Structure 1
C-alpha cells in the first residue's frame, strides 16, 4: 500500500508545483514589473489589436495588472482546483499530468503576453502610438510551449487508471423468456451546476457585449458558445440505459445522442468502477485509452461492453451488476441458438 501511495504523493506534489506555485511565481513577477512601470504609462493603453497587428481597443493602464492576476493566475488555479481532489484521493492518470502542464502553459501565455504588451507602451504619448503586437504574441506562445513541456516532464509518468474488468456472471434466463432492464442516470450535481453556470455566465457576457455596443462578431461568438454549451447541457445531463434482446441502448432523455451496441457485436459485458478524471479526463461523452468510449456522468459503477472489434463502450449507471449480467445471459443465449 505504501509503495502504491508514494507515486501518488509525488504526483500530487509535482502537480501543485507546476499548476499552483509556478503560476503564482510567474504572475507575481509579471504584476511586479507592471506596477513598477505604472507611473510611466499613459493613462490609457492598448489592450486589443486587430488582425493586422494594429491597436484598436484601449483600457486604463491600471487594469492590465488586474487582468494579469485574473487570467494569468485565476484560470490556472481553476484548472488546479478541478484536479486536486482526485489526486488527493490517490487517483492517477495522464489526464492529471496534462492538466498540470496546461495550467503552467496558460499562466505563461497570459502573463508574458500582458506584461510584454504593457512594457512596450512605456513612455508613449498616447495609446494610439502602441507598436504592433506580433512580437509579444510570438514571445507568449514560445513561453507557453516551454512552460508546458517543462511542466509535463517535471511531473512523474502516470499510468492510466483503467479498471480491470471481470466478465459478469450471466443471469438465469430461459430460452423463450423476454427480459428488459432499464435505468436512468443523471450527471453528478457538481458537474451539472458547473455546466449550467457556464451557460449563464457566457450568455450574460453576450448580452452585456450587445448592450454596450461591442463589435457584432464578438456578440455572435459569445452567443454561439452559449448555445453550444446549452445544447451540450440539454443532451448530456441525463441518459436512459436499456438492456433487451437487441443489445445495449443508451440515449439522452432528449433523444439525441443515442448509442446502440447490438447483441451480436458483444464479446462480453462487465461491471466496472469508473473514475471520470483518471480514466476519461472528465465527464460527458468521452474517449479514453484502450479504445474506450464512455457516457460518463459520474464516478462509480458502470457497465463496460467489449465489442468483437476490440473497442469498449462504457456507461455509468446504477445497478450495473444486473445490467452486465443480463447482457452476458442474452449473449450466451443467442450464441446457443441454432
Structure 2
C-alpha cells in the first residue's frame, strides 16, 4: 500500500493507454494481413443460434477494432488522467485502468477471431458459429482486466481533510438560514444536453424510418428517461436552517434531507468525485451518500447512524459551520430541558 501518486500515474498510463494501443495495432495488422484471403462481404452478425445473418465489407473489422479496442479504452483513460495528475487516488482509478485494458483485449480478441475464422471461405454464409469467438473474447478481456488491476499499485485514498472555517456563535432563539445553488460545470451540462438530444433525435429517426414499434417505444422511453434524469440532476438548491440540511433539485424532485436531530457533525471538505465516489451525480460510496456535481469544496454531514452525506457547493465552510452551530444548540437545548415527572 502506498500514498505516492507518481507510480500510480505511470502504471495507469501503461495499463490504460500503452497496452491497449499495442493490442489494437497488433490486432489490426493481423486483420489487414488476412483481408486478401477473405470473402467479400464477410459475416459481421450472428443470430442466437450462432448462424451468420449480417454481412458487410471486410474493412469493417479493422475499423471496429480501432474504435472498440483503441478509442473507447482511450476515452476511459483520458477521463481519469486529470484527477491522477492532480494527485488524486483510490480504487476507482485503478478499476478504470483495468477496465480500459480488459475492454481492449475483449474487442481485439472477439473481432480478430471472428474475422480469421472466415479465412478461405468462398461465401460468408458458410461462416462457423461465433460462440467460440465470443467466449474467447470474454476470457481474454477478463484475464487482461485482472492483469491490469494487479499491474497498478494500491494507492490509499486519504480521508478528506476538513477545510478551515470560522465557527458561528448563535444566541438562544436566534434564527439563521444559509442557501446556495450548486450545479454541474458547463462542459458536463453541455454533454448531458447533447446526449439527451441525440437519443431524442435517434427515436424520431427510427420512427420516421418505419422501424418496428418495439424499437421505437424502447428508444422513446430511453429518451424520456434521459431528459428527466438530466433535468433533475444538473442543479440543486442547498439550504441549512433550524430544520437541518435540505438538498433539492431545481425541479423540486428528488429531494434529500438530514434532520437537525440526526446531525452528529458537519464540516467542509474537499471532494474528488472520481476517486471518492467513482464519478459525478447522485452517488453511493461505502459509508457515504453524495450529491457530487463537481470537484472541490463540499459540506459533509456525519449522521447518527455513522453514515455521511456529502454535497458539493460553494461556500461550504459557512454552510457547514452554521449547520454545526444549529445542531450543537439543539443538543444543548435538549440536555437542558427538564424532564416531566
Deviation at 1:226, TM superposition (A): 3.6
Mapped partners of 1:215, 1:114: distance in 2: 28
Residue 311 (structure 2) pairs with residue 315 (structure 1):
yes
C-alpha offsets along residues 241-295 of structure 1, whole Å, 9 cap, x if unaligned?
0111111000111111110001111101001111111211111011223x01110
Mapped partners of 1:146, 1:95: distance in 2: 19
Candidates 250, 269, 285, aligned match of 2:282: 285
Kept in 1, the 8 Å contact 2:39–2:120? The answer is: yes
Mapped partners of 2:212, 2:116: distance in 1: 27
Candidates 227, 230, 234, aligned match of 1:233: 230
Mapped partners of 2:213, 2:54: distance in 1: 15
Mapped partners of 1:143, 1:227: distance in 2: 37
Counterpart in 1 of 2:299?
303
Mapped partners of 2:137, 2:12: distance in 1: 22
C-alpha offsets along residues 27-66 of structure 1, whole Å, 9 cap, x if unaligned?
1111111111111111112212222222222221111111
Counterpart in 2 of 1:104?
101
Note the residue ranges of structure 2 that are not aligned, 5 or more in a row: none
Residue 37 (structure 2) pairs with residue 40 (structure 1):
yes
Q: Which stretch of the first structure deviates more once superposed, 51-60 or 109-118?
A: 51-60
Aligned-partner SS, 1:87? helix
Counterpart in 2 of 1:19?
16
Aligned-partner SS, 2:67? helix
What is the TM-score normalised by the length of structure 1? 0.92
Residue 138 (structure 2) pairs with residue 141 (structure 1):
yes
Residue 154 (structure 2) pairs with residue 154 (structure 1):
no
Counterpart in 2 of 1:124?
121
Question: Aligned ranges for residues 1-338 of structure 1 at < 5 Å?
Answer: 7-165=4-162, 170-210=167-207, 218-289=215-286, 291-337=287-333, 338=337
Mapped partners of 1:41, 1:223: distance in 2: 39
Mapped partners of 2:200, 2:105: distance in 1: 28
Note the residue ranges of structure 1 that are not aligned, 5 or more in a row: none
Moved over 6 A (4+): none
Kept in 2, the 8 Å contact 1:162–1:279? The answer is: no
Kept in 2, the 8 Å contact 1:44–1:59? The answer is: yes
**Equivalent pairs, count:** 333
Instruction: Provide closer, same or farther for how the CA distance between residues 39 and 203 of structure 1 changes in structure 2, counting only shifts above 3 A.
Output: farther
Kept in 1, the 8 Å contact 2:163–2:317? The answer is: no
C-alpha offsets along residues 130-152 of structure 1, whole Å, 9 cap, x if unaligned?
21111011001100100000000
Deviation at 1:167, TM superposition (A): 9.4
Deviation at 1:168, TM superposition (A): 6.4
Instruction: Provide closer, same or farther for how the CA distance between residues 223 and 101 of structure 1 changes in structure 2, counting only shifts above 3 A.
Output: farther
Deviation at 1:211, TM superposition (A): 5.0
Aligned-partner SS, 2:279? coil
Kept in 2, the 8 Å contact 1:292–1:311? The answer is: yes
Mapped partners of 1:224, 1:105: distance in 2: 31
